[in-house]
A and B are shown apart, each in its own frame.
Chain A
Amino acid sequence: MALIELKGITKYYEMGNQVVRALDGIDITVLRNDYLAFIGSSGSGKSTMLNILGCLDKPTTGQYHLNGKNVETLNQNELSEIRNLEIGFIFQSFNLLPRSTALSNVMQPLIYRNVPYAQRKKLALEALERVGLGDRTDHLPNQLSGGQRQRVAIARALVTQPSILLADEPTGNLDSKTTVEIMALFDALHKEGQTLIVVTHEDEIAQHCHRVVEMKDGRIASDSARASTTEVNR
């Protein structure tokens, strides 16, 4: 069964009497253990797409099924729960809580699941270990390098064992060496069976992914998966 199924998704922003069509009719299916890259020029709607996939934003029209659930009908609290249980979000600007240590940041999503403290700490340490930050747990975000912050953010996304990991230009603020390290981590996660969706406009990153979807003006211009199937059908 498909993990994600989008049908006729649109997102319109009304700016005065002008309508911005950030997404203009998207149909896409994402399978379990897909490793997918959204590429496209700036303003093509990639981030909007990812925010809707991550249940942070709601589409103007269209249907979204995540893990069999119809997301459309859910209220804010239920969406929070979906984000907590199903989704791990990684942002370009890291979005860590500035006054919490690395460990606390990673423990944070587990609070909303009512995991007791000791258990939370154990899971968070494991996640930090997994991203190679086992020795920086007591640092505040401003005491960490950009690459380390993004690792903390990845650990925070992983600690809940989400069914899907969403990353919006995860290496946009990082140098090329760190980028390689982060991508290696993503590759490893994919090998372990993790489903990943990455937004990027760097070809090197897209090359890591097994499926590349190009967006243009809020529409899907090409989809490597679909291209191959059309070839087969032909």
Chain B
Amino acid sequence: MFFALFESSRAAFMSIFAHGLRSFLTTLGIVIGVASVIAVVSITQGMSVFIGDTFSSLGSNSLTIESYTPLEDQMKGIRARLTPDDLDIIERRIDGIASITPILYANRASQVRYGSQTAFSQIFGTTHAFQDVSQSYMKFGRFIAASDNDTRRRIVIIGDKVRENLSLPENPVNEFVEIGGEWLKIVGLLEPKGEIMGFSQDDMVLMPFSTMQSIQGNQARTDIQIQLSLTEQANIETVSQQLTSILRNAHGLDNEEDDDFTIQTSEQLMETFDTIISMVTIVVGGIVSISLLVGGIGIMNIMLVSVTERTREIGICKAIGAKRHHILMQFLIEALLLSLLGGLIGLAIGYGLGSLIASSIPGFPPAAIPLWSVVLALGFSGFVGVLFGILPAAKAANLDPIDALRYE
């Protein structure tokens, strides 16, 4: 059996290389199919590895609470809010909080001006605790201090991207910028964090929470975001449950009403990303399997031509003693080798393409090919080869020797 297999492979190899160009064209469908799978997989996998790394550096024990208004309520004009009072309650009643900080986003145009330059940025008010929660470090100057909030001091901390956009000096400390008609003094520059998937992490302007409130005109309708990080011992699930019940209580929600806030852990965020990535992978995989199918039909087509072309040879082999399985094996192995070869070429091209795309987009994570995708791609193309090789191979094996020998 093994012997026959070896002999058939040798014959198959010979005939593949005897028709080099044709073999290549035949297998092009498989090449393209596998190349696109691998390109997509390598990019999305690179992305998901990178996202995984990024989030694990954020720490798995941080939580973000935001107000959440169901669409139905939005249309009635109701808006859910989180207030500084909610922050107080949480701070007082939940154990295991390492640090907690409010974030108040600027609700008007988020424009910053310095001299003649203006730039749009993410502007928000927060407290000194934000430094811990977000694990930010200073390049120059200092972070917001507790006393800044008490005195509503008109100061800002900026990210490196903002400094760049406003053409501020290398060390912008003690310069003044204008936000919403108010002049604020820069007291610190954050250490740059780089980008996640093309989004700069350094495009932000921070000011004391109370300063932001006063700039916004001390509206009663303040809606804040609360970020908190937990101590090592705290269980993120338990804390989420406690937070839910405390906030529901504070907002006077009865059992039938849904939460008017959402609690997001960094783990959930990562899961969301992962879900998106796997969906993309599945959709593209589906499209690509159609191209593999087409590739398989191409192989079948050429194999049928090849059987017809070699009818006489098959007749000769049968006349000198080849049995059905000898012929069947030779053609089946030829189809298998053809598609595996296509799979391998596709793998190389796909990886090259993936790396090229990944490296040509700045800040994009490098492509990565997991072993399963290699096994899958080769397995699938081999399967396609065998599946679509069976018909031609069976046709060859079933040829009547005398008819095959008479074939012109």
* B324 and A109 contact, CB distance less than 8 A: no
Residues on B close to A: CB < 8 A? 3-4, 7, 14-15, 18, 312-313, 315-324, 326, 401-402, 405
- Chain B residues near A84 (CB-CB < 8 A): 320-321
- Chain A residues near B401 (CB-CB < 8 A): 56, 80, 83
**A31 contacts B by Cβ under 8 Å:** no
* B402 and A98 contact, CB distance less than 8 A: no
Given contacts A97-B316, A99-B18, contact A56 B323 (CB under 8 A): no
Cα separation A83 to B324 with both chains bound (whole Å): 14
Q: How many residues of A contact B (CB 8 A)?
A: 27
Closest chain-B Cβ to A215's Cβ sits at a distance in Å of 19
**A108 contacts B by Cβ under 8 Å:** yes
Closest chain-A Cβ to B78's Cβ sits at a distance in Å of 81
- Chain A residues near B323 (CB-CB < 8 A): 76-77, 80-81, 112
- Chain A residues near B14 (CB-CB < 8 A): 99
* A97 and B313 contact, CB distance less than 8 A: yes
Cα separation A76 to B322 with both chains bound (whole Å): 10
8 Å CB interface, A85-117 against B: 85, 89, 91, 95-99, 108-109, 111-114, 116
**A204 contacts B by Cβ under 8 Å:** no
* B402 and A51 contact, CB distance less than 8 A: yes
Cα separation A80 to B315 with both chains bound (whole Å): 11
Instruction: Tell me which of A77, A89, A160 contacts B319 (CB under 8 A).
Output: A89
Query: Chain A residue with minimal CB distance to B320?
Result: A109
Instruction: Tell me which of B15, B315, B317, B321 contacts A113 (CB under 8 A).
Output: B321
17 contacts between A and B (CB under 8 A): A76-B323, A80-B324, A81-B321, A83-B319, A85-B321, A89-B319, A89-B320, A95-B316, A97-B313, A97-B316, A98-B313, A109-B320, A111-B7, A112-B326, A113-B321, A114-B3, A116-B3
Prevailing SS type, chain B contact patch: helix
- 17 further A-B contacts with Cβ under 8 Å, apart from A77-B323, A112-B326, A113-B321, are A76-B323, A80-B321, A81-B323, A83-B318, A83-B320, A83-B401, A85-B321, A89-B319, A95-B312, A96-B316, A99-B18, A108-B317, A108-B320, A109-B321, A112-B321, A112-B322, A114-B3
Query: Chain B residue with minimal CB distance to A156?
Result: B320
Closest chain-A Cβ to B408's Cβ sits at a distance in Å of 11
Closest chain-A Cβ to B316's Cβ sits at a distance in Å of 5
Closest chain-B Cβ to A226's Cβ sits at a distance in Å of 28
Closest chain-A Cβ to B297's Cβ sits at a distance in Å of 27
Given contacts A99-B14, A99-B18, A112-B326, contact A56 B405 (CB under 8 A): yes
**A57 contacts B by Cβ under 8 Å:** yes
Instruction: Tell me which of B3, B322, B402 contacts A80 (CB under 8 A).
Output: B322
- Chain B residues near A80 (CB-CB < 8 A): 318, 321-324, 401
* A83 and B316 contact, CB distance less than 8 A: no
